Structure 1
Amino acid sequence: MCMKVKKVLAMVASSVMLAGVIAGCGDSGSSSATSSATTGNVSSESSGSEKTSSSSKGNTGEADMDSVTIGVLLPLTGDTSAMGVKTKNAIEMFFEDYNENGGIKSMGGAKVNLVVADTTSSSEVAVTEIERLIQQEDVDILIGPYQSAAGAATAPIAEKYGVPYLLTSSCADEIMKNNYNYVFRANVCIDDAGSTIFDFFNSYNDVYGYMPQKYAVVYENTDWGMSCYDMVKRYVEQNGGELVVEEAFTSNNSDFSSIINKVKSSGAEIVFPMCYLNDAVLFTQQMSEYQCDATIVACGGGFTSSDYIANVGELSNYVIAEAGWSLGVLDYKGEEGAAINEKYSSLYGEELDEYSAFGYFNSGILANVLERAASTDADKIVEAFLATDLDSDDPELSLMQYDGVYFADERSDGQTHQNTKCSNVMTQIIDGEYKVIGPVSMVGEPECEFPAPAWAER
């Protein structure tokens, strides 16, 4: 069967699944039907089989199977658990609906079984857990994790065993510069974030005549933080700016006062803090305490989680954050996206945010790929990944602002299997809500408070 026909069949299957979401928006309760129960890090369904390192997992995986097993690798405890739990919830919601609407039709209605593993917010534990998912749980495909350090540590393991792996929230550019055969990423990378931020600055300058000249970057010394730092330095230089402060710190910092005072005395107009939730909260609180008036422009991280606003309250106002997704995107999408958000809210008591949206979106990509692969054979799944060419109006993109999904053999920056049709959004927190302020191609003329008012004037 030609790929075009397979794509159409997959779209039909996804449309049926979305219809189930719309019909079930009034439901309440927790999503559980598709996920193996876990106790700590151990799934209740353990096959006990073991694999050896090879170029391919080697399953024959022909049609008419009972189930397909997806390993879900996320932080459910520890410092980044808030983001991991949101992602897990959305993955479970997607596949419960998917199974109820017929499962993988090209495999005779095979159901998707999820085996969830907790990385405990540790890249070392992530390595142990991905080994367990592959060798003991006999998973057919993997999804996760959160944090670039965990993604960088686990991608070589999936590659070694030949198990296809779709990264969700591990955006460091370097991860995808290793010529992996089995690792893919549908979400944005760090370089995409830099392009989004500085396109916004230039668009704002075109309309209002203001372009920042002095920048500070404060970044945690992790894979993600250092990748963000490299991106900021490159884009500042390309746009004729000056980087006046460059400060690294260890995550879960207890005091940013000395760094913030350096930023304050430098005259920086913009400060880029690259950190996860706990550090994002403290950094914002101390920016206010020490009256440092540089506008906070975040590159995702903890600043795009709804928990950030809950923790810092009105201090979050006027923070600008580049984000892989924001709830305001749904204002520019169809009714399917609103229905997905409504059902998620009814199940979990909160609306979608970047991380839950990523979980749902990537689940749709996995379902699309498995439908077209019609097999659990690893190499056939890889072929289906490489043949993926979705557009913005396909059902898999119901939530997303992306132009589509296409995994390039190699981008100009050396990344392989990175989606080339994705893009970020720019947001600003106003009155406790994320407002989408860019890109111009989506929202039109940028409307925001930029630069942010001085703390004394708020």
Structure 2
Amino acid sequence: MSSKGLMRSQLLAATVAFGLLSSVAHAQQQPCIGNSAAVTGPAAFSGQAIKMGAQIAIDEINEAGGVLGQKLRLVQYDDAGAPPRGVDNTRRIALADKCIAVLGGFHSTVAVAQVEPVHEIGIPYMGVWAANTKAVENGRDPNFMFRVSAKDKWVARFLVDEALKVSKDGKIAFFYENTGWGNGALPDIKAAMAARGKELVAAETFNWNDQDMSPQVIRARDAGAEVVMIWSLDREGNQVLRAMDKIGYKPAVIGAWGISGNLGELAGPLANGVRVMQTYSFLTPQSETGKKMLATLAAKYGLNDPSAIKAASGIADAYDAVYILADAIKIAGAFDWAKVQKALYEVNRDGLVAPYKPAFDKSDPERNDALLPENYLLAVWHDGKLIPFKGSPYDK
């Protein structure tokens, strides 16, 4: 054989071998869903909520026969809200555990960091909490980042609408954490205000673990803000409320759901009346699915009082996300990342949080998000519990 012929034979053999390896890699993808979330640290409640919702869905699916004849399982990793750990966990879930999908966690900084490894590997990601707009609207095609959760672009519009109902003169201040989540929300809030013909009277930022928010609060007060919108976690939200109390400043306070975990415990009575956007509450009239979920939460986790259930949105979003993934696997007919990614656009189902008809729409770059603004609801802190705003003591 000539040297050219030998080279062609070697190239053909290498190509065939590569194809076989690729096929084997796809065949090795397993019926597991990996979750990278904060199960330690100040937002540990969020990881536990996601784990509960996902596990309940997996148990129900397995009791009904599993997916494609196989039982699903949940693989849980802790990212503690740290982006590098979220990236490492993504790679571990995909390449070591060979799971069919990644469930996202609480922190938007982690979700944004996961965009690169998710697309480098080609594994579907399903966010169930982190709401940063750019995490999902990332310009990738095909886009492997999906979400059953809120989206900051839409949350901003929701909160601005609520704030303007409260404000007599439209004087609104915005307090936001100096992270990818907070900084990413600022343009969304400004755009939502502009759409209503308004501008913020103050925009104040702060860092995680800041202990004194007095300067920011004083500037908002001096600007005449009647409403303060907050984009923060509970611990910093607590400091904002304490700074307001210290100077006798009493604006209406409304926030994204970073202050929906344990603000009532941290701030005590100061949290009363603070309004928070949510996607779900177990204190509203429940569907049959909701009633079943409550029964399972009581039997499996000892949560007998619906008002004591923390992070209802995280539980419910994770529950629906797992069912949507299971449906996509069935439609794909295989545990295959690329096929499942495409099949997600074909899923139609009635979920716990909302009807998904369809869950996602490939023709609309905004619609790799399954939950729409009309699925959001307003809650309020009252005596240490987060309750629906409608019908609350503050609904006047």
Paired residue secondary structure (2:388): strand
The one-letter amino acid paired with 1:406 is: A
CA deviation vs aligned residue, 1:293-341 (integer Å, no higher than 9, x gap): 111110111x222x2222222221111112222333x41x422202202
Relative to structure 1, is the Cα distance of residues 68 and 286 closer, same or farther in structure 2, using a 3 angstrom cutoff? same
Give 2:122's aligned residue: 162
Report if the CA contact (8 A) 1:213-1:241 is conserved.
yes
Post-superposition shift, 1:132? 1.7
Q: CA deviation at 1:256?
A: 0.9
2:70 maps to a residue whose letter is A
Residue of structure 2 in register with 1:304 after alignment = 260
Is 1:323 paired with 2:278?
Answer: yes
Q: 1: CA distance between counterparts of 2:42 and 2:36?
A: 15
Q: Which has the larger radius of gyration?
A: 2
Change (3 A) 1:365 1:211: farther
Cα contact 2:271–2:384 (8 A) shared by 1: yes
| Cα distance in 2 between the residues matched to 1:433 and 1:262 | 30
3-state SS, counterpart of residue 327 of structure 1: coil
Q: CA deviation at 1:214?
A: 0.4
Out of 361, 372, 377, the residue aligned to residue 336 of structure 2 is 377
What do you get for the CA RMSD once the two structures are aligned? Answer: 2.8
Could you tell me whether the CA contact under 8 Å between 1:253 and 1:279 is conserved in 2?
yes
Q: TM-score under structure 2 normalisation?
A: 0.84
Q: CA deviation at 1:101?
A: 2.5
Is the 1:192–1:424 Cα contact (8 Å) retained in structure 2?
no
Q: Indicate conservation of the 8 Å contact 1:327/1:434, yes or no.
A: no
When residues 200 and 401 of structure 1 are mapped into structure 2, their CA distance, relative to the original with a 3 A threshold, is farther
2:368 is equivalent to residue 417 of structure 1: yes
Which residue of the other structure, out of 196, 199, 214, is the alignment partner of 2:158? 196
Distance 1:170 1:101 in 2: 30
Distance 2:176 2:275 in 1: 16
Aligned to 1:369, what secondary structure does the other structure show?
helix
Query: Following the alignment from structure 1 to structure 2, what is the Cα–Cα distance between the partners of residues 356 and 319?
Result: 22
Taking the TM superposition and a 5 Å limit, the aligned residue runs for 1:317-356 are 317-328=272-283, 330-331=284-285, 333-350=286-303, 351=309, 353-356=312-315
Alignment of 1:93-104 (within 5 A): 93-104=56-67
Structure 1 counterpart of 2:148? 186
Residues 370 and 322 from structure 1, CA distance in 2 versus in 1: closer, same or farther, beyond 3 angstroms?
same
Residue 68 (structure 1) shift: 0.6
Say which of 359, 365, 368 aligns to 1:406: 359
Equivalent residues of 2:148, 2:317 under 8 A apart: no
Residues 81 and 410 of structure 1, relative CA distance in 2, 3 Å threshold: farther
1:17 maps to none
Secondary structure of 1:242 counterpart? coil
Give how far 1:230 is off.
1.6
Residue in structure 2 matching 1:248, options 193, 199, 205: 205
Corresponding position of 1:428:
380
Shift of 1:407: 1.3
- Over 3 Å counting, the alpha-carbon distance change for 1:430 and 1:436 in structure 2 is same
Relative distance call for 1:424 and 1:404 in structure 2 (3 A) is farther
Are the structure 2 counterparts of residues 289 and 361 from structure 1 closer, same or farther at C-alpha, using a change threshold of 3 Å? farther
**Distance in 2 (alpha carbons) for counterparts of 1:56 and 1:380:** 13
How big is the shift at 1:419? 2.4
Partner deviation per Cα, 1:354-377 (whole Å, 9 max, x = no partner): 222222221222222222222111
TM-score (norm 1): 0.73
1-side partners of 2:32 and 2:106: how far apart? Answer: 20
**Secondary structure of 2:26's partner?**
coil
Tell me the secondary structure at the aligned position of residue 369 of structure 2. coil
In the alignment, the residues of structure 2 paired with residue 343 and residue 417 of structure 1 have an alpha-carbon distance, to the nearest angstrom, of 30
- Report how many residues are paired: 368
- Pick closer, same or farther for the CA change 1:219–1:133 going to 2, 3 Å: same
Residue deviations 1:105-132 (CA, integer Å, cap 9, x gap): xx1x200122211112201111112112
Partner of residue 117, structure 1 = 77
- Cα pair 1:281 1:312 within 8 Å, conserved: yes
Provide the residue aligned with 1:228 in structure 2: 185
**Structure 1 unaligned spans of 5+:** 1-50, 439-445, 452-458
Q: Is residue 289 from structure 1 mapped to residue 246 from structure 2 by the alignment?
A: yes
Q: Is the 8 A contact 1:56 1:162 kept in 2?
A: no
What amino acid does structure 2 have at the position aligned with 1:222? T
Is 1:68 aligned to residue 31 of structure 2? Answer: yes
Aligned counterparts of 1:192 and 1:322: Cα–Cα separation in 2: 11
Measured at CA, do residues 148 and 380 of structure 1 come closer, stay the same or move farther in structure 2, by a change above 3 Å?
Answer: same
Residue among 132, 153, 159 paired with 2:92:
132
Shift of 1:402: 5.5
CA distance in 2, matches of 1:172, 1:155: 12
Instruction: Write the distance in 2 (CA, Å) between the matches of 1:166 and 1:86.
Output: 15
Q: Contact between 1:71 and 1:133, CA under 8 Å: does it hold in 2?
A: yes
Evaluate the alpha carbon distance shift between residue 56 and residue 194 of structure 1 in structure 2; reply closer, same or farther with a 3 A threshold.
Answer: farther
> Taking structure 1 as reference, are residues 317 and 402 closer, same or farther at Cα in structure 2, changes over 3 Å only?
farther
Q: Does the CA-based 8 Å contact 2:31-2:72 persist in structure 1? A: yes
Question: Counterpart in 1 of 2:9?
Answer: none
Deviation for aligned residue 1:283: 2.0
Question: Relative contact order: is structure 1 or structure 2 higher (C-alpha 8 Å, sep ≥ 6)?
Answer: 1
C-alpha distance 313-447 of structure 1, shift in aligned 2 (>3 A):
closer
1:173 aligns with 2:140: no
Of 50, 69, 88, which aligns to 2:51? 88
State percent identity of aligned pairs: 20
Q: 1:421 to 1:55 in 2, by over 3 A?
A: farther
The separation in 2 between residues aligned to 1:433 and 1:360, in whole angstroms, is 22
The Cα of 1:83 is off from its aligned counterpart by 1.0
CA contact (8 A) 1:197 1:426 kept: no
Cα deviation for residue 225 of structure 1 reads 0.7
Query: Do the aligned partners of 1:143 and 1:167 also contact (CA within 8 Å) in 2?
Result: yes
Match of 1:261 among 215, 218, 221: 218
Give ranges in structure 2 of 5+ residues lacking alignment: 1-17, 304-308
The Cα of 1:281 is off from its aligned counterpart by 2.2
Structure 1 residues 215, 91: CA separation in 2 closer, same or farther (over 3 Å shift)? Answer: same
Of 26, 37, 57, 1:59 maps to 26
Aligned to 2:14: none
